[in-house]
Amino acid sequence: MSPFLPHTLIQRAVKSLGPKDLARTYVVCKAWHDAISEDGHLRGVLETAVAFDLTPDPSPTGLIYEFSSDWYCYWDGSYGLPQVPEVDFVFKPPLLQSKSGFVVTENSNLFEFATPGDVKSVLSKLKSIQEEFVKHDVRCSCFGSESDNPYLPFVVPWSTENQLSRGEIPAVLLRQLGAHEKLRSNVKICDDLLFFLPDGGNEDGDFNVIFSDTSVSSPTATQIKELLGDEPLVFYVGSDDLNPVPLFVVSVVADGLLGGFLSALIHT
């Protein structure tokens, strides 16, 4: 009898693994390497994970750092930085930022409900849009001039069983992200939020547009509409009990994926 497991048995055993664990399994031995390489889905998971490094950045900056360590919480009456992590948090466990810049959740598996091809396509489109945002310094504008946080590409697995109305999506998403109950209980849908150029310039008309404006025809706005649709869901959560306030621009971007952009508003 052969001392090696049949390739089909190995493939069934690793189907549910996320890219990080699958990559570790891939190098266990030649038999496991060959079994994974022969399976189109598993090979696609690895190729996508390599093309877009989804491993967490150990030293995130900006919003992701602020939401985990450097935000102002008034829930406990302290009017200062969070003191008790078990009580004073924004997301628990904290949101992560991958080395390639995507906002992800701890132990989330983007391939849980989506095909590798769809994951790769969505990540490519989000990355392309974000690069234009960075190039033109596109930021979120609302609640005053201090609210100029960047838009970060954001994607999470989304069960195909979630046949929800627009108004129901925030509650399910926030619960999936481990948002604080104060955030989950205070959701404001805000479909008139603008892309913002800090210098006020919009010579090309590319970015100073409403997310849900179907008349926009600039190349980047067209990319956004192709990915998020004509009416993406724009909402922020929380109140002046927290600064900055998380803001989401999301849509079901493929079967099994909810994606878009995460930013933040500052109450002034």
For the chain of 268 residues, list the mean pLDDT of each consecutive stretch of 10.
65 74 76 79 78 83 83 68 79 90 85 86 92 76 62 90 85 94 88 47 40 50 81 83 85 94 81
Q: How many whole angstroms separate alpha carbon 19 and alpha carbon 176? A: 20
Cβ atoms of residues 172 and 164 within 8 Å? yes
Task: Give the DSSP H or E segment for 31.
Answer: helix 30-38
Q: What is the pLDDT of residue 245?
A: 85
Q: How distant is the alpha carbon of residue 115 from its chain centre?
A: 17
Q: What is the pLDDT of residue 268?
A: 61
Q: Measuring CA to CA, which residue among 45, 185, 59 is closest to residue 123?
A: 45
- DSSP-assigned letter for residue 196: E
Structure tokens that stand for 185 in this block: 């209980």
Cβ atoms of residues 243 and 140 within 8 Å? no
Task: Give the DSSP H or E segment for 119.
Answer: helix 116-136
Q: What is the pLDDT of residue 201?
A: 41
Any idea where the domains of the chain sit in the sequence? 1-51, 107-265
Q: What is the pLDDT of residue 39?
A: 78
Taking the whole predicted model, whether its pTM rises above 0.85 is answered as no
Q: Which fold has domain 107-265?
A: Nuia (3.40.1460)
Cβ atoms of residues 97 and 57 within 8 Å? yes
Cis upstream peptide for 219 (omega within 30°): no
